[in-house]
C-alpha cells in the first residue's frame, strides 16, 4: 500500500512540476515574436523589426489560432512586413502573414509557412497594402487593405504603389481549416 502512495505522489508531483513550467499565452507570444524576428533577419530586408521602420511589428500582431495548454501545442499567426528575398524593387515590399507553431512543450516554436491564410486568399486581398488586422473572435479576422481598380468596384489607381480601393475584409476559418473571405466592404475609393 505504501508503494502505491509513493508512486501516486511521485506522479502527481511530476504533473505539478510540468504545469508550473507551462508558459502563459502572452509568454508564448513573446517567444513567437522572437522566432519570427530571427526568421525575418535571414529572409528579408527592410522589415518591420528594424529600428527606423515606420510601422513596427509588436505582440499585438501575434494572433492565437490554436492553443492546447494540456499538450503544450500552439499555433500563432504573425503579421510582419518586409522585402522578402531582398529584391529591392518598387513592388517587392509586402505584408507577410506567417504561421509559427509547436507540437508540444518540449519542442521549439518553428516557422511553418509565410502563407498562414493559404494561397487562395491572395485572389481577394492584396497583401502589399494591408493596413491592419484584427481578430474580433476566434477563427475570424478583419483585414483592412487597399487593392487596385477593377470592373466590379471601379476607382482610379495612382500607379503601381497607389491602388484605388480600400476594403475591409472579414476572413473566417471553416470546419476544414481553410480561410475564406466571407465579406468584402469598400470603405474608401480614389476616383
Instruction: Write the pLDDT tens digit of every residue in 77-105.
Output: 999 999 999 998 878 899 999 999 999 98
What's the rounded mean pLDDT across residues 14-21? Answer: 45
Contact 76, 29 (CB under 8 A): yes
Report DSSP letters for 77-112, one per residue.
EEEEEEEET----TT--EEEEEEEEESSTTS--EEE
pLDDT at position 160 is: 83
- Residue 72, sorted as left (phi over 0), alpha (psi -120 to 50) or beta, turns out to be left
Task: List, for residues 180-189, the tens digit of each pLDDT value.
Answer: 999 999 999 9
pLDDT at 36 over 60: yes
Tell me: pLDDT of 19 over 50: no
CA distance 148 to 154: 9
Comparing C-alpha atoms, which of 146, 140, 176, 171 is closest to residue 161? 146
Q: Rounded to the nearest 5 degrees, what angle is found at the Cα of 36, between the Cα atoms of 34 and 39?
A: 110
Q: How confident is the model at residue 122 (pLDDT cuts 50, 70, 90)?
A: confident
**Mean pLDDT for the stretch of residues 153-163:** 88
Amino acid at each position: 500500500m505504501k508503494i502505491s502512495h509513493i508512486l501516486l505522489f511521485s506522479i502527481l508531483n511530476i504533473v505539478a512540476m510540468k504545469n508550473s513550467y507551462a508558459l502563459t499565452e502572452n509568454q508564448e507570444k513573446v517567444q513567437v515574436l522572437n522566432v519570427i524576428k530571427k526568421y525575418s533577419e535571414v529572409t528579408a530586408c527592410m522589415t518591420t523589426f528594424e529600428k527606423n521602420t515606420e510601422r513596427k511589428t509588436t505582440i499585438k500582431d501575434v494572433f492565437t489560432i490554436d492553443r492546447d495548454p494540456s499538450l503544450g501545442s500552439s499555433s500563432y499567426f504573425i503579421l510582419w512586413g518586409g522585402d522578402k528575398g531582398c529584391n529591392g524593387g518598387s513592388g517587392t515590399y509586402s505584408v507577410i502573414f506567417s504561421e509559427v507553431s509547436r507540437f508540444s512543450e518540449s519542442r521549439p516554436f518553428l516557422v511553418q509557412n509565410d502563407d498562414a491564410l493559404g494561397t487562395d486568399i491572395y485572389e481577394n486581398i492584396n497583401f502589399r497594402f494591408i493596413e491592419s488586422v484584427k481578430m474580433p473572435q476566434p477563427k475570424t479576422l478583419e483585414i483592412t487593405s487597399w487593392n487596385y481598380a477593377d470592373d466590379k468596384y471601379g476607382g482610379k489607381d495612382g500607379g503601381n504603389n497607389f491602388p484605388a480601393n480600400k476594403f475591409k475584409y472579414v476572413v473566417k476559418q471553416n470546419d476544414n481549416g481553410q480561410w475564406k473571405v466571407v465579406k468584402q466592404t469598400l470603405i474608401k475609393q480614389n476616383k
